Structure 1
């Protein structure tokens, strides 16, 4: 699929997910460039604000974990150009155990899996049903994304909280207008930009998930 930068749009069709700082990096020999990854993660955290006040805890969780990883990165940028190097250095300094950064990255990874699933399902529903009015309600999208990602890591209270969140999510058109930076009638372009954004997002998450499994810091997906 084409990158956002490769998709020609008319002037004024800039969207949230077309901003360079929000785009997840291309892998470099299988490694994730740390700085661009963290910038893109902050972009995801800020996007969660479009989902309304009910999602503030999700936004704060993602952003808080970005800060934990960024603090580690800022302490030695030259030695942690790639995320895998950052993980290795943090583990080495803590005797193979979680440090603040690797534990923060564990939960950041899980939050990203949820957001990746939600955005993917939102795009899929838009694409598969030509009558877009029938798929404006995203409650099932949020619920299904949660079932596939965060649910297995949560206790009873968190699970109940997410049930409430699934009913508080705004309609898709409201979210897409925010993605369009307040412009009207750009739903199709916003969906296209999200679609393109998802390519590198998914590759980054998949590599990170696998690396945590390899390092025995997380268990494989069921």
Structure 2
């Protein structure tokens, strides 16, 4: 009997995050990011706790800003631009770091679904391509340990659902949406519209 996949049961998929005129809706984005963090539970390794804590901490920074200023926080870009005016960069930095974590996940899963690599290989390569350059010598070993602590590929995909073809199809849809949102946010930061000094 086929059971619902992880992607069907998650609170919000990145594929369901509204994007209008290149702006990403805050509430739905945060729900999708929280769902992604729960994906790390399936990796079943205490080593990933640090990754989850980091992402959850950054989600909280963005949500706190949204709750404090809901009128000017409809989109992620609105939050960053409002903080530029206020000369407060808490949520701006939180979004930057959260996006880096999302990129790590996207790169790792893209490498894995398009190959026969074990997860630890894909996550280690992704870490070396994305986050490592932003981490100091104290943080790097902690994250490297987490990347190596991934479960076997077959066990991970089995936890996503017992119909591999359905899992793969839904993962690719979710992944494409995640990659699109990461690119939108990164392009926004690269444009310099948020101000300097991050």
TM-score for the superposition, normalised by structure 2? 0.89
> Is contact 1:23-1:40 (8 Å) kept?
yes
Aligned counterpart in structure 1 of residue 39 of structure 2, from 22, 40, 47: 47
C-alpha distance in 2 between matches for 1:218 and 1:14: 45
C-alpha distance in 1 between matches for 2:103 and 2:149: 20
Alignment correspondent of 1:31: 23
Task: Give aligned pairs, total.
Answer: 193
TM-score for the superposition, normalised by structure 1? 0.80
C-alpha distance in 1 between matches for 2:138 and 2:35: 28
Q: Deviations over 1:53-83 (max 9, x none)?
A: 1111001110111011011111232322111
Alignment correspondent of 2:172: 195
> Is contact 2:104-2:131 (8 Å) kept?
yes
Offset, 1:188:
2.3
Measured on the aligned residues, the alpha-carbon RMSD in Å equals 2.0
5+ residue gaps, structure 2, are none
C-alpha distance in 2 between matches for 1:15 and 1:76: 36
Q: Does 1:147 align with 2:128?
A: yes
5+ residue gaps, structure 1, are 1-10, 127-134
Offset, 1:109:
1.1
> Is contact 1:151-1:159 (8 Å) kept?
yes
- SS where residue 156 of structure 1 aligns? coil
Alignment correspondent of 2:187: 210
Alignment CA distance shift 1:218-1:30 (3 Å): farther
Alignment correspondent of 1:80: 73
Give runs of ≥4 in structure 1 deviating > 6 Å: none
